[in-house]
Amino acid sequence: MFTRTRDQEDTVPEVIRVPKNISKDIQERGFHLYKWISPEEVKLSIERDFLKVLKIIGVPLAILALVFTFLSALNPIVFLFTVFVGVSMMFIYLLFLSIKRSRLLTKSAFVVMTDSSISLWWKIHKLSDMSGLKKDIDEVSTTFEENLFEESKLATSKKNLTDQVIEQLFWGYKKIFSLWDSRISFGRSKDSAQFMLIIIALYTAYVAIMASVYFVGVLWLLIFGKLLTWANTRYLIYRWHSVTKINQLFGDLDISSDNIKQQKSELKKLLTQAHDNQWKDWLLLEINAGIKDINSSAQWAVLEFMNLKNEISSSRYSDMFRFEIYHTWIKKQISKPLEDILSLLEKNRDVLSQTQDDIKKQINNTSKVELQWPLKLQLKRIKMQLRDVKQYIPMLEESISKLR
């Protein structure tokens, strides 16, 4: 996922504010995949709503349970049944919410942006015409407490609700003991005292049940939440396969670019050492291995380049995408480093050819055999290196041509 930041600039006034790091990414690549809502956030939103519902139904359910219990002549079965019905309705509601949130996730998990368009809810909008986008963005932002390109507030909301639910459970005791102290409604008779004790006992039973519901609910959400997250993750992989593959290929090309740049630096260092040390055998082996690795990296980068281009062309986002920007990015990331390596090898080839001619002249001008021997050995090494360099140069040229 790309780093979210509040350092933003107005790309589309009054509708969305695009962070500078994302705008830069779009300008360089012509594409950015923003991971907005995740399966984990769906799970967190259900946990938040569990606490919210528990807070809302807590007091009404307590009153109903007490009223029905007194009307049934203090029948404990009525008390337990009332609580059970209320809690069951709560879990049915949460199950309904889970389905609804999962459907919303499939539409808002990813936001695809190019220099000209944005795709959200499977709809593609031109940046010049965003009138139909605000309603969709607001629905997701409100549901998951996370504005587009900003941090989620779900964790904070859940924590606050947890504190409120616990406080609410014990708030009833304060009210009951307040009535006990004042005796305004019941007087100071023995019957009123017994009545208050019954109220305290029933409320204590209610608190115990609601506390049990809370812990059972947490356990249920832990198990159900993991299943929900797993199912949503699997579905997103299936539903968003194309766009995630595009994003992955962009990342792979970044890695290939870094590898090629590093290999270029190492090869340059080895060639300099070889030239200064008369092309020693161990240096030749390392140089040849380095050139071979570079060609392998170049061929792999070409394959990734073609795969990415084909993936974009065959996706629903092809009309959003400008390949001019893409080719400029490829030239910077892959073509330019390879061209630098090609230039380095061509220069090395010329140096080897000139060195070969110079050594041949030295051998011809040296009459003593013992002096010719090290020169011939050096000449043999140079011929081997020159052969390998000439072999790899056309391969590199071919790879560069495919990137154009």
381-394 tens-digit pLDDT = 778 878 878 888 88
Close Cβ partners of 99 (under 8 Å, ≥ 6 residues apart): none
CATH number at residue 334: 1.20.58
Q: Which of 185, 204, 239 is the last residue of a domain?
A: 239
Nearest residue to 65 (alpha-carbon basis) of 50, 75, 52: 75
**Residue 55 in contact with residue 161, Cβ under 8 Å?**
yes
Average pLDDT of the residues in 137-161: 91
Do both 235 and 246 map to the same domain? no
Do both 201 and 320 map to the same domain? no
Average pLDDT of the residues in 316-324: 85
Q: What percent of the chain has pLDDT over 70?
A: 89
Cβ-based neighbour number of residue 400 at 10 Å? 19
Residue 35 lies in a domain: yes
Do both 162 and 226 map to the same domain? yes
Angle at 111 between CA 309 and CA 51, to 5 degrees: 145
Q: Is the pLDDT of residue 255 over 80?
A: yes
* Confidence band of 8 (pLDDT split at 50, 70, 90): very low
Question: Checking DSSP bridges between strand 16-19 and strand 117-120, what pairing results, if any?
Answer: unpaired
Average pLDDT of the residues in 183-210: 68
Residue 54 lies in a domain: yes
Residue 330 lies in a domain: yes
Q: Which of 192, 221, 239 is the last residue of a domain?
A: 239
Query: How many distinct structural domains can be found in the chain?
Result: 2
User: Range with the lowest mean pLDDT among 63-72, 174-183, 228-237, 347-356?
Assistant: 174-183
> Which residue's entry shows tokens 């947890």?
162
Question: What pLDDT is stored for residue 37 in this prediction?
Answer: 92
Q: Is the pLDDT of residue 119 over 70?
A: yes
Average pLDDT of the residues in 103-122: 86
Do both 175 and 258 map to the same domain? no
Do both 269 and 235 map to the same domain? no
Range 159-167, long-range pairs (CB < 8 A, 24+ positions): 161/48, 161/51, 161/52, 161/55, 162/51, 164/51, 164/55, 165/51, 165/54, 165/55, 165/58, 165/214
Do both 166 and 303 map to the same domain? no
Q: Is the pLDDT of residue 193 over 80?
A: no
Residue 348 lies in a domain: yes
Residue 3 lies in a domain: no
Residue 225 lies in a domain: yes
Which stretches of 80-131 are assigned E, i.e. beta strand? 110-113, 117-120, 123-126
Residue pLDDT, tens place only, 351-363? 888 888 888 888 8
User: Range with the lowest mean pLDDT among 138-147, 153-162, 361-370?
Assistant: 361-370
Residue pLDDT, tens place only, 260-279? 989 888 888 877 776 666 56
Residue 2 lies in a domain: no
User: Range with the lowest mean pLDDT among 42-46, 58-62, 109-113?
Assistant: 58-62
Question: What pLDDT is stored for residue 192 in this prediction?
Answer: 64
* Confidence band of 29 (pLDDT split at 50, 70, 90): confident
Q: Is the pLDDT of residue 234 over 90?
A: no
* Confidence band of 189 (pLDDT split at 50, 70, 90): low
Q: Is the pLDDT of residue 185 over 60?
A: no
**Residue 228 in contact with residue 98, Cβ under 8 Å?**
yes
Q: Is the pLDDT of residue 184 over 70?
A: no
Do both 247 and 197 map to the same domain? no
**Better-predicted residue by pLDDT, 119 or 14:** 119
Q: Which of 208, 239, 270 is the last residue of a domain?
A: 239
Do both 180 and 35 map to the same domain? yes
**Better-predicted residue by pLDDT, 368 or 1:** 368
**Residue 253 in contact with residue 304, Cβ under 8 Å?**
yes
Measure Cα distances from 276 to 183, 232, 269, 378, 384 in Å. 103, 60, 11, 13, 17
Measure Cα distances from 274 to 266, 269, 286, 381 in Å. 12, 9, 10, 11
Q: What whole-number distance in Å separates Cα of residue 327 and Cα of residue 62?
A: 67
Residue 227 lies in a domain: yes
Give the domain extent around 334.
242-402
Q: Is the pLDDT of residue 335 over 70?
A: yes
Which amino acid, residue 267?
A: L
Q: Is the pLDDT of residue 190 over 60?
A: no
Close Cβ partners of 154 (under 8 Å, ≥ 6 residues apart): 41, 44, 45, 48, 144, 145, 146
Do both 219 and 298 map to the same domain? no
Question: What pLDDT is stored for residue 106 in this prediction?
Answer: 86
Question: What pLDDT is stored for residue 282 in this prediction?
Answer: 67
Burial of 4 (0-12, 13-18, 19+ CB in 10 A): middle
Do both 163 and 177 map to the same domain? yes
Question: What pLDDT is stored for residue 39 in this prediction?
Answer: 92
Do both 176 and 274 map to the same domain? no
Q: What whole-number distance in Å separates Cα of residue 25 and Cα of residue 30?
A: 7
Do both 96 and 130 map to the same domain? yes
Q: What whole-number distance in Å separates Cα of residue 161 and Cα of residue 58?
A: 13
